[in-house]
Structure 1
């Protein structure tokens, strides 16, 4: 069992509010306190405390010897409640890319029905090896941005009861939209080589590393250019030192492909005259005004895939809701 970072009362509150959001206006009977206690592995007094707060706030109505019901006057009518989960569910920051894809997808989804509601999930929810996340089962569907690898089996189980769409990570058990780093880097490296570069360096992504490297290798083989193992760097201080050593040995790269945000490298690239003629590739979302950027940019067209993401949440059994490669565009700037 992975323990929650939120108090039990707060987790139960999230669960009940999500349950209420799925009601259609008429009073519905809440599961018993015993059932809820078993679901969350807590005592019944803890459940009663959480429910009493919701009764005082008017979300629930207690009918003695009958049960606890939703209050239609307080809850209203909501057709669907969609969840958004980032990474492991505990992210405290958003990348530019994450903001863009979430905005595009949710904008498309919310335009479809004014009664739709969104909930950003911060993992107060527990994860049980057998049951997954009990609170998430109350949602109408879940959009999951780049989940951790160890979470994928549990996500597959969850998807049997709740529609789940994964973006940014390959997942065999649920619909997923992911980048093809092999093909993307092949196109980028081929363009650089065709424009005269002969010494390329790749700053590898955090995932799909082998595919990313293979794309550059393929382009170099076709152009009869070398791409030795030492030309693959990471986004860390050790890799910065490796790049400095290349410059010191007179082996300055004339093309660098960034598959990650390049902030750690920018001071060196701006200040070292050895890079005056070098060109770079970086996703447009990661290029900032502090960088004297020249070369190629591009990225994923999330506006194009937003309708498909929304379709997969609304119609999870549609045949088109399978693994899809996210469209990629490349341009010189």
Structure 2
């Protein structure tokens, strides 16, 4: 088991590494003289031994060089790669360790498109707890722009404060006063609805999040209503399979089911146990991926991760040119492709 003291040392060492990397970026092409180990430890509020340990590692990695009797310096040749703009990537409150498929894919595609500008990408890790301290910590991190994912309501005031000092962009959600890039999720639902009607599947069950119900589900309902079909609220289970068996035992026979990734395999198993034919009579549908254990065919829609990245990169580019421009909120559509896999 990893001890609490070990975790604390790791976070302190990361502060030293971030400090040195910021120097590399700020003083590109220079052999910058670092403060003494004691001065650096005092400035960061960490133990001197911890600072020495990380600085030794950075010397071994070639980022720093130690000159006997003179001090520690950054290595100029290591700085040439830091000529491009530096973009910070922040997930949630900066303390997330484990990330699901959706966030990993969204972040990686966005970071890839940003790096093509070209730009350097910095994964932001935060250690503060209170709102004011988080804002101060973010302000102290060197980057030209901050791109944020999975933002909680508690982080919104922190990002508004941060935007006073550098461009901030949110991806896949909108915060008033902050530039954002979003997908038209209601149109996404319309694409799903059209695909289901094309296969004459009108008895549909959804096991999804509240956000899905307020966006994608309404898009499906739009298409069904236009075609003369009803889509009652009872066919939506809020991201849980609880109640699914009862629904099936009441005589409901779905022709299609759109479960979340979290409930996909469990929902499929419950459907099998109630003798629902998942090969022909009932089709499972997703915008993410087909789980490996899933033997029956799945209706798979391509999700526009790459377009999220391209749209975000365009907004970041405009903000770097004009940081004071008014917040723009991009809502883009996608031409979905479907396959049965």
Q: Where do 5+ consecutive residues of structure 2 fail to align? A: 1-6
Alignment partner, residue 81 of structure 1: 86
**Deviates most, 80-89 or 318-327:** 318-327
Is residue 258 from structure 1 mapped to residue 259 from structure 2 by the alignment?
A: yes
SS at match of 1:286: coil
Task: Give 1:55 shift.
Answer: 6.0
Once the two structures are superposed, residues 270-320 of structure 1 have per-residue CA deviations (whole angstroms, 9 ceiling, x without a partner) of 45422441123201x321232244463214322234333223334313879
Is residue 325 from structure 1 mapped to residue 331 from structure 2 by the alignment?
A: yes
Q: How many residues end up aligned between the 2 structures?
A: 315
Correspondences of 1:124-203 after superposition (within 5 Å): 125-130=127-132, 132-135=135-138, 137-203=141-207
Q: Where do 5+ consecutive residues of structure 1 fail to align? A: none
Query: Equivalent of 1:204, from 186, 201, 208?
Result: 208
In the alignment, is the contact (CA less than 8 A) between 1:312 and 1:321 conserved in 2? no
Query: Equivalent of 2:229, from 225, 239, 247?
Result: 225
Whole-Å separation in 1 of the counterparts to 2:234 and 2:154: 30
In the alignment, is the contact (CA less than 8 A) between 2:284 and 2:299 conserved in 1? yes
In the alignment, is the contact (CA less than 8 A) between 2:146 and 2:167 conserved in 1? yes
Task: Give 1:243 shift.
Answer: 1.6
Relative to structure 1, the CA distance from residue 232 to residue 279 in structure 2 (aligned partners, 3 Å threshold; closer, same or farther) is same
What is the alpha-carbon root mean square deviation over aligned residues? 3.7
Relative to structure 1, the CA distance from residue 169 to residue 224 in structure 2 (aligned partners, 3 Å threshold; closer, same or farther) is same
In the alignment, is the contact (CA less than 8 A) between 1:270 and 1:292 conserved in 2? no
Higher-helix-fraction structure: 2
Is residue 302 from structure 1 mapped to residue 305 from structure 2 by the alignment?
A: yes
Once the two structures are superposed, residues 7-39 of structure 1 have per-residue CA deviations (whole angstroms, 9 ceiling, x without a partner) of 57335314412421322122557799999978x
Whole-Å separation in 2 of the counterparts to 1:174 and 1:327: 21
Task: Give 1:196 shift.
Answer: 1.9
In the alignment, is the contact (CA less than 8 A) between 1:86 and 1:145 conserved in 2? yes
Once the two structures are superposed, residues 239-293 of structure 1 have per-residue CA deviations (whole angstroms, 9 ceiling, x without a partner) of x24121121111122222235452332322445422441123201x321232244
Task: Give 1:61 shift.
Answer: 7.8
Whole-Å separation in 2 of the counterparts to 1:331 and 1:253: 20
State the TM-score, normalized to the length of structure 2. 0.74
Relative to structure 1, the CA distance from residue 93 to residue 53 in structure 2 (aligned partners, 3 Å threshold; closer, same or farther) is closer
State the TM-score, normalized to the length of structure 1. 0.76
